[in-house]
Amino acid sequence: MSASASPEVSPQIAASDRFLTDERAERLRSASARIILILILVAIFLGGWEFLKWATDAPRTTLPHFHEVVNYLFSTNSQGDKVWLDTGRNLRLTFIEALTGLAVAIIAGFAAGTLMALSRWTGRGIMPFVIGAQTVPIVAIAPALVIWLGTGWETKALIAGFLAFFPIAVSTARGIGDVSQDSLDLMASYGASRTEVFFKLRLPSALPYIFTGLEVAAAFSVIGAIVAELPVGSQDGIGVVILTSQQYFSLQPESLFAAIGGACLLGGAMVAMVRLIQIAVLRGHRAQELS
């Protein structure tokens, strides 16, 4: 049997090997292309910054030179600390708030999304609340939450989680619910239980969807944490740094740009972290769903 099969199999193996090598080369090429693209974008950004300053003849108090912002980061502030160290300390707090919020949102969002997809009645009950979570203007409700819950970091984590909840819930509901009838029939033909259908079919097929939502949620959690830091009464966090920098803008314009840059880096780092986890978890999934 295997003897008769081998002549037709060997060309297929050869074809598949070529396919794999191509895939590996392709991955390498796309990785280096991506790095080059990032470098080009950074160059365009810096060029655009300096061009804008030159073209509009903006004074330092409107738009400082980029190198002035970098220099500021390495200077010493009024408390005698290095500015970049101080900024880092504030970023760290905001990061902890955002990460805690994201963790809470993952648990709550996954549970809500699963219920929405699987249970008709509970799902209908939850839906208005999920929509509500999306439409509540977070900037308006944050001060009230700070008054009720205090200015501690937990309040900010809660607001970050509130914002991150929606994309996770929706993408989970989409993913868990979006399973082909054939796959469900297949599982039924094995006499699979609901639990088996969930863990062997629904959850693994939903993972790419869930990670897409998670990426958005990661960015939202940082935004949520920063917005939560803005109301009066907070002492630390990158949001507070942004607020104070704005007040002293005419004296020290570089500090606002440094703070904005720090906030951007934090958001980027959060999203990158989710991406790395995604790549590790979805190793076996379709390649195109990763890129």
Partner 1 sequence: MTTTDNASETVAIGTQIAISFEGVRKEFGSGVNATLAIESVDLDIAEREFVSLIGPSGCGKSTLLRLAADLIEPSGGSVVVNGKSPRQARLDRDYGFIFQAPTLFDWRTVWKNVALPLEIMKISGMSKEKKDEEIERLLDMVALNGFESHHPYQLSGGMQQRVSLARALVFRPSILLMDEPFGALDEITRDRMNLELHRIWAETNTTILFVTHSIPEAVLLSGRVVVMTARPGRVQEIIPIDLPYPRTTEVEESTRYYELVTQVRESLSKAMVGGL
Indicate the residue among 13 and 38 with the shorter CB distance to partner 1: 13
Indicate the residue among 9 and 52 with the shorter CB distance to partner 1: 9
Residue type, 180: S
Indicate the residue among 19 and 129 with the shorter CB distance to partner 1: 19
* 190 CB-near residues (< 8 Å, 6+ apart): none
Instruction: Determine contact, residues 215/281, Cβ cutoff 8 Å.
Output: no
CB of 180 to partner 1, least distance (A): 7
Indicate the residue among 81 and 196 with the shorter CB distance to partner 1: 196
Hey, how many other C-beta atoms are within 10 angstroms of the C-beta on 253? 20
Distance CA 269, CA 266 (A): 5
Indicate the residue among 18 and 65 with the shorter CB distance to partner 1: 18
CB of 2 to partner 1, least distance (A): 6
**Residue 244, H or E segment:** helix 238-247
The DSSP-derived string for 49-78 is HHHHHHHHT--TTTS--HHHHHHHHTSB-T
CB of 16 to partner 1, least distance (A): 6
CB of 116 to partner 1, least distance (A): 23
Q: Backbone dihedral region of 252: left (phi > 0), alpha (psi from -120 to 50 degrees) or beta?
A: beta
Residues forming the site for partner 1 (CB under 8 A): 1-2, 5, 8-9, 12-13, 16, 19-20, 180, 182-183, 185-192, 196, 200-201, 204-205, 207, 282, 284-287
CB of 4 to partner 1, least distance (A): 9
